[in-house]
Structure 1
């Protein structure tokens, strides 16, 4: 083989190697482009899907039969709290005015910080902490001697607490709670059973529990609202035919408390 033939052969071998290398490089580049397109497509699909979810309207709450003059209540926030029991001196032995703004209108209360300082101090703290924001009144009594609306649990279950408890104070010895009474609801424990729940009495009520329930104020305006809710009755499946969740829902939207000037 001549030197020229050897050079031609070497050149062809080198050109073949270069072509192979170039083909491999082009394949790698093509694979990268395809991968990038697939990844971009996946991102776009994910974004479009996420946007669709974001733009999807919330499933509306099932409409409930409200009493006349009431709006549909909001969804409860469903949370309790972990607060500390306030010093009863917060009540200052003074009289306080509290306004419960509900989906049915305002219910105004007068709180007696002299007769029930711990209950009033707790009420003031919970009101200022927005503890009762959008909380449903979950229990209604419409019996002959048990007429009341129980509120104050933001979970709407009757099990929520503010994270503390306290004892009974200013309970009537005869177990009588006249119309217009504002009293604390509690567990069976009279020493630590009070928390954030309370009841609005809209008809003379007898609660013969020996320890009683703390009366810490009176209802000065809005009893007609409680009467309307009571007139709609209780839902079936409750504690009895006359005690259960109200058919016409009522929720506390917010609570404002101010000290009443002498």
Structure 2
């Protein structure tokens, strides 16, 4: 009997061990489940954060694109405003019309134009263009041009400005090459300005300061395509002649555009004036 009792003791110990092992397995399983749930929660949180970051970046890109469009539209509008300002015209001006001052003794007499039409040629960018000057409609401007041409004033003088948006002109005649130069005098008045502000292809017109009808000198512009140039407080721009043949010779220089790619600036190709012959 004693031997049987001793044989039962180890079995009881094994049962106790089995229970403890089951408890340990339950605890381990619970911890594992908790770790899985925690990992899933962390992954979900990271996913939500990623979604938020993606949405934020998309919103920033959308705003950047909207801003870029606004800047682009603003740049186009600003270019047109600056071009209008350069010519000195535009709506909303309130300044009184300036008085036309008397010309100085340096200004050639209007009688030099003889009140008649002149014809001849002018070299522009190496191309010979045929032209006529209207000494009857614009005697002062024509006299000035005849006098300067006779002195070879324009020879090798560059055409410093090209406009290719809204207004289509090539401006020449400034010995400084930057729009600030002249013959050492200025004159007026404005003559033969188009009634409807329409400057037709081929027109030769005098450049001047905005609002000042007595600020013409040596600078003039060639209209290479019909352009509407609004008058300012001083009026329009003196049309003193017209290119009658050869204007297409300037096409390549015009198509080359400006140095900076804008619609108003220095021509990308050098364009100089050459010989002028008139009779």
Fold agreement, TM-score > 0.5: yes
Q: Give runs of aligned pairs for residues 37-76 of structure 1, distance below 5 A.
A: none
Q: Which has the larger radius of gyration?
A: 2
| Number of residue pairs matched by the alignment | 173
CA separation of 1:150 and 1:83: change in aligned 2, threshold 3 A: farther
Q: How far apart are residue 248 of structure 1 and its match?
A: 1.4
TM-score, normalised by the number of residues in structure 2: 0.59
- The answer to whether the 8 A contact 2:127-2:250 is kept is no
Please say if 1:252 is aligned against 2:276. Answer: no
- Which of 128, 131, 134 is equivalent to 2:150? 128
Structure (1 or 2) with the greater strand fraction = 1
Q: How far apart are residue 219 of structure 1 and its match?
A: 0.6
Which structure 1 segments of 5+ residues have no match? 1-81
Q: How far apart are residue 192 of structure 1 and its match?
A: 1.5
- Which of 250, 257, 270 is equivalent to 1:233? 257
Distance in 2 between residues matched to 1:248 and 1:180, nearest whole Å: 20
Which structure 2 segments of 5+ residues have no match? 1-103
Q: How far apart are residue 83 of structure 1 and its match?
A: 8.5
- The answer to whether the 8 A contact 2:126-2:274 is kept is no
Distance in 2 between residues matched to 1:117 and 1:180, nearest whole Å: 19
Q: State the secondary structure of the residue aligned to 2:250.
A: helix
Aligned partner of 1:111 in structure 2 is 133
Please say if 1:222 is aligned against 2:246. Answer: yes
Please say if 1:86 is aligned against 2:118. Answer: no
Aligned partner of 2:61 in structure 1 is none
Q: State the secondary structure of the residue aligned to 1:173.
A: coil
Please say if 1:177 is aligned against 2:177. Answer: no
- The answer to whether the 8 A contact 1:183-1:215 is kept is yes
- The answer to whether the 8 A contact 1:140-1:244 is kept is yes
Q: How far apart are residue 225 of structure 1 and its match?
A: 2.1
Please say if 1:191 is aligned against 2:213. Answer: yes
- The answer to whether the 8 A contact 1:111-1:120 is kept is yes
CA separation of 1:97 and 1:184: change in aligned 2, threshold 3 A: same
- The answer to whether the 8 A contact 1:83-1:162 is kept is no
- Which of 119, 122, 146 is equivalent to 1:100? 122
Please say if 1:158 is aligned against 2:179. Answer: yes
Q: State the secondary structure of the residue aligned to 1:203.
A: coil
Distance in 2 between residues matched to 1:122 and 1:218, nearest whole Å: 16
Q: How far apart are residue 111 of structure 1 and its match?
A: 0.2
TM-score, normalised by the number of residues in structure 1: 0.63
CA separation of 1:83 and 1:234: change in aligned 2, threshold 3 A: farther
Please say if 1:203 is aligned against 2:225. Answer: yes
- The answer to whether the 8 A contact 1:103-1:251 is kept is yes
Aligned residues: CA RMSD: 1.7
Structure (1 or 2) with the greater helix fraction = 2
Q: State the secondary structure of the residue aligned to 2:178.
A: coil
Distance in 1 between residues matched to 2:272 and 2:140, nearest whole Å: 25
Distance in 2 between residues matched to 1:204 and 1:103, nearest whole Å: 21
Distance in 2 between residues matched to 1:102 and 1:204, nearest whole Å: 19
- The answer to whether the 8 A contact 1:95-1:113 is kept is yes
Distance in 2 between residues matched to 1:185 and 1:166, nearest whole Å: 11
Distance in 2 between residues matched to 1:150 and 1:198, nearest whole Å: 6
- The answer to whether the 8 A contact 1:182-1:216 is kept is yes
Q: State the secondary structure of the residue aligned to 1:186.
A: coil
